[in-house]
Amino acid sequence: MFGMNFGRYLITTTTHFMKNTLFFILLCFALGVCAQTNYGIVTPDYRGNVYQTHCKPLETIFNNTRKEIGYGVRQDDRMNVYFQFNDKAWFKTLFENPKDGLAINVVTKDIFDCGAETIPEGVTGEILKPVYRNTLYQNIKEIQSGYYRVFVGKLPAKYYRKELEFNVIFLKQNYNCRYQTFYKLNSYNYDLLDMGLYLDSISYDNDFASISSGDSEMKYKTLRFKVPFEKNKASFAPADIKPLYDSLRLTDFSIKRIEIQAYSSVEGSKAANTALQEKRAQSIVKALQSFQKPNIETQIASAENWVEFLNDIRDTEYGYLTDLPKKEIKQELKGEMLTAMEPYLNQHRKALITLYLQRKDEYDALTKGELIETFNTFIVDKRLTEAEKLQNSLFNRIRAKEVDPEALQELKIPKQKKYIDFFNANSAFRYRQNANELLTTYYDFQELNQLYPENKKIAYNMLALKLRMNHSFKSIPEEENLINKIRSLEKMGINKGLVLRMLVNYHITKSELLMKKGKYDEKDKAVQFILDTYRSITLSDLDYLSLAQFLAYYYDRESAVELLTNKVKDIDIDKRLLFYYLNLTLIDDELTQDSQYRTIMLNAVNLDNPRFCKIFDSSIKGGVTFQLLDNAFLKKTYCENCTE
């Protein structure tokens, strides 16, 4: 089994066999933590001879358990409790002696109520009567092919309709050798870094390509910028954002969708701040709408800017405020204190705006038939620039599902070198529309590359698809040939950053294969190349997500956490990335006690409050576990933001 030590925790990964969900499992070898005794159960000192003799062998079994082995605890409608697993032989290795067995610890959410005192260390809730080896073996039932369960207890009537969770105590000679709490965390399939494909220019799956321009950032069909606001003001003139349009030639585009995250500074009542945020967002929508018709699809969210407030004051004379509850901070922000804090607060009143753009189409009035006929005429007349625009117009209609992709077959393009960019764009576009065409598209580019090996767009697209094939089919990278081909792209004029992305993706796939073969030292060298290289590449949030997931699975959790630590402090972070970071870190007591972790959690509260609060529901209700509330620091943030 894959495991990483940090502090007193051992994080491991198992797959529950009833759902395609990964669980992170917290193990405590319980000096003090699991000190309660029931039914003669004794918790040994993990430094003593008893632990070494009885518990160490069990620890070895779990450390070597294959990640495909799944297990957990379930309750049926009749209040019966079962231990479920998907490998009978593995299950039997856990219990060698008659006094080896299982005991179920029943925990109710109400003991973690926000009005209750902090739970003292020790086993919380009730321990059901242990079940030992012989009874366990006799009661194994196969519930479906390859999946088993064994009865381990019946719940008393007092638990009816209560929100419950079940921890497991693994017993060796009636010693508590392993106390296990199940954390149900969402899993993600990591991907390669986004390499994009060349059509007429590079086109990314995740709108990655960017150029900086002051406070604004132009991405492929995406514009991001911020609008500051004065204190208690919600309006601004349309002229304030018109220069931005003009400087970035937005007259060539129309706005398809607007996303606005409006922020107020933290002083004052939350109700007044919420109303102000809404007015600010609407004033922006009105200003942008004045530049075009028809109406623009709009998505608005708002929040008090606690994230930047806490980040900005942390290392100042006002740093003591970071440990106070929100209500107490608001009480402090009055009179002279409010005046003194204004230089910070005036930076926090803003709206972050994302515009999704679509280039205006000068051939919009043509029907599909007219579009194709005109394209073919332009090809015959060698009016290639106009033909390229018509081809892009057809692409846009196919993307919008206004035209069937088969229309591309009606474009009559001679198989001559001067038309190579049309063939390149068609093949790349077909793959972008249907990733199932990966193999066919790769062969298309391989053929084009043989005909025109000097064309950098074709060479790039062919290698990008080859890496996709290696990743999808888990094939072995051609060590010398493929890596040399990737490195040669820079000499052909491909941007160095794109080449480095390909090299990182090459080593990601290589790591997967080396891991599969058990060549762990070589795998670590491949991962080290990735760690040494990624800082030289501008990454999107989704790139960070893919890379963090890869590192957590194939290398170590600490590297994944380090990769994301600075990103998760940004208020405009991608929500998926932020919640994945919480997945990695919520059960790390040392990390969650850091005052900066509260800021990160407040960022999650701002982006998706219901999703953040749901983390603290039971796993059966779709949460991670309510037992996270045993952590006083997590409970403080939960109670402050999830119980109003």
pLDDT tens digits, residue range 38-74? 798 988 887 888 889 989 999 999 998 887 788 999 9
* Residue 207 scores a pLDDT above 60: no
Q: What is the pLDDT of residue 288?
A: 80
- φ, ψ for residue 234 (rounded to 5)? -125, -5
* Residue 211 scores a pLDDT above 50: no
Alpha-carbon span 299 to 114, nearest angstrom: 33
Q: Which tens digits make up the pLDDT trace of 95-122?
A: 999 999 999 999 999 888 888 766 655 5
- At 373, is the pLDDT very low, low, confident or very high (cuts 50, 70, 90)? very high
* Residue 219 scores a pLDDT above 70: no
Mean pLDDT of 475-487: 80
Mean pLDDT of 146-167: 94
Asked if 211 and 224 touch (Cβ cutoff 8 Å), the reply is: no
Asked if 557 and 584 touch (Cβ cutoff 8 Å), the reply is: yes
Residue 542 in tokens: 């989704």
Q: What is the pLDDT of residue 552?
A: 87
Q: What is the pLDDT of residue 120?
A: 53
- At 239, is the pLDDT very low, low, confident or very high (cuts 50, 70, 90)? confident
More confident residue, 177 or 18: 177
Q: What is the pLDDT of residue 256?
A: 83
* Residue 128 scores a pLDDT above 60: yes
More confident residue, 402 or 248: 402
Q: What is the pLDDT of residue 362?
A: 86
Asked if 251 and 337 touch (Cβ cutoff 8 Å), the reply is: no
Least confident of 366-375, 430-439, 493-502: 430-439
Mean pLDDT of 298-321: 92
> Looking at domain 205-359, what is its CATH homologous superfamily?
OmpA-like domain (3.30.1330.60)
Burial class (CB in 10 A: 0-12, 13-18, 19+), 601: buried
Q: How many Cα atoms sit within 13 Å of 329 on the Cβ side?
A: 21
Q: What is the pLDDT of residue 125?
A: 80
Residue 248 in tokens: 């970035």
DSSP 498-564: HHHHHHHHHHHHHHHHHHHHT-HHHHHHHHHHHHHHGGGS---HHHHHHHHHHHHHHT-HHHHHHHH
Alpha-carbon span 541 to 530, nearest angstrom: 17
Give the closest residue to 204 by CA, choosing from 500, 428, 446, 491. 428
Q: What is the pLDDT of residue 8?
A: 24
For residue 609, what is the DSSP state? H
**So where are the chain's domains?**
3-184, 205-359, 556-644
Angle at the Cα of 12 from the Cα atoms of 7 and 15, rounded to 5 degrees: 160
Residue 613 in tokens: 């609060």
Least confident of 207-221, 291-305, 575-589, 619-633: 207-221
Return mean pLDDT, the chain. 84
